[in-house]
Amino acid sequence: MRAPSLHHVTQGSVHLGWDNSIPPALEVESGAEMELEVRDASGGQLHRHSDASAVAELDFARVNPVTGPVFVKGARPGEVLAIDILELRPRDWGWTAIIPGFGLLADEFPDPWLRISEVDASADRVRFGAGVSLPYDPFPGTIGVAPQEPGHHSIVPPRKWGGNMDIRHLRAGSRLFLPIGVEGALLSVGDTHAAMGDGEVCGTAVESSMDITLRLTVRKDLRIRTPQYFVPH
């Protein structure tokens, strides 16, 4: 476990859409490390003792909150923000749901369903239930910077500035590169997962609140048009 971060952003600093006019929750120098508290994808609407009825009552206006934004001093439009993912620390449980009308199999599974899993980071396992144990492999499903375009933009689709990309390879040790659209970059992160396959076929992974530690570095020597990432061997 890493030592406590110099900078900290609580889950009270969340927003529900990309907007470059949102005031930053934190300002840091390039190269700074910080810990951000991330809410689960339901925004706290589902709990350890929830059942399928709570899934049917989800308010989609409150889903996929992201923590931030973080203003990085010296970051300019056209430059690149390098994001080193250093550590993810989950709560001890997570949830997976089938949400009516949502996901690739919505026509085949029309009824709400919910599974509460035990997340045991020390054992590197997610106990999914019914004798099924999954590898614990945490990552942030949503990570991005503010778009250059003004106004409110949905969290849901990925875009050139990052966002809800659901790339399970962005685990601890990986580095993500994002093009910067506005001064300060304004990075936010959310939708942390304890485990996921190659995509969210039912619309959800093992969703779990987490604390995530990142290092943010402005790269003035790079130019990219879309997100890129590096996964060490």
- pLDDT tens by residue, 97-118: 999 998 888 899 999 999 999 9
For residue 200, give both structure tokens.
Answer: 């969210």
Q: How far apart are CA 184 and CA 71, in angstroms?
A: 5
Q: How far apart are CA 217 and CA 197, in angstroms?
A: 29
Higher pLDDT, 171 or 199: 171
Q: Mean pLDDT over residues 172-191, rounded?
A: 98
**Is pLDDT at 175 greater than 90 in this prediction?**
yes
DSSP 8-class letter at 16: S
Q: Mean pLDDT over residues 198-209, rounded?
A: 91
Which pLDDT tens digit goes with each residue over 130-145? 889 999 999 999 999 9
**Is pLDDT at 27 greater than 80 in this prediction?**
yes
Tell me what pLDDT residue 199 has: 81
Tell me what pLDDT residue 5 has: 46
Which residue matches tokens 């010296």? 74
Q: How far apart are CA 5 and CA 107, in angstroms?
A: 45
Tell me what pLDDT residue 204 has: 95
Mean pLDDT, rounded, of the chain: 95
Pairing of strands 93-98, 66-72: unpaired
Q: Mean pLDDT over residues 27-37, rounded?
A: 97
**Is pLDDT at 216 greater than 90 in this prediction?**
yes
Share of the chain above pLDDT 70, in %: 98
Q: How far apart are CA 200 and CA 101, in angstroms?
A: 14
Q: Mean pLDDT over residues 139-168, rounded?
A: 96
Q: Mean pLDDT over residues 34-59, rounded?
A: 97
Q: How far apart are CA 7 and CA 167, in angstroms?
A: 25
Q: Mean pLDDT over residues 198-206, rounded?
A: 89
* Closest by CA position to 146, among listed 60, 66, 38, 37: 66
Decide if 177 contacts 222 (C-beta within 8 A).
yes
Tell me what pLDDT residue 130 has: 82
Q: Which DSSP string corresponds to 188-207?
A: EEEEEEEE--SS-TTS--EE
For residue 35, give both structure tokens.
Answer: 């810990």
* Closest by CA position to 165, among listed 134, 200, 195, 135: 200
Decide if 209 contacts 90 (C-beta within 8 A).
yes
**Is pLDDT at 52 greater than 90 in this prediction?**
yes
Show Cβ contacts of residue 149 under 8 Å, excluding neighbours closer than 6 positions: 20, 181
**What's this model's pTM, rounded to 2 decimal places?**
0.94
Q: CA–CA distance from 64 to each of 51, 130, 210 (Å)?
A: 20, 28, 13
For residue 157, give both structure tokens.
Answer: 């689709």
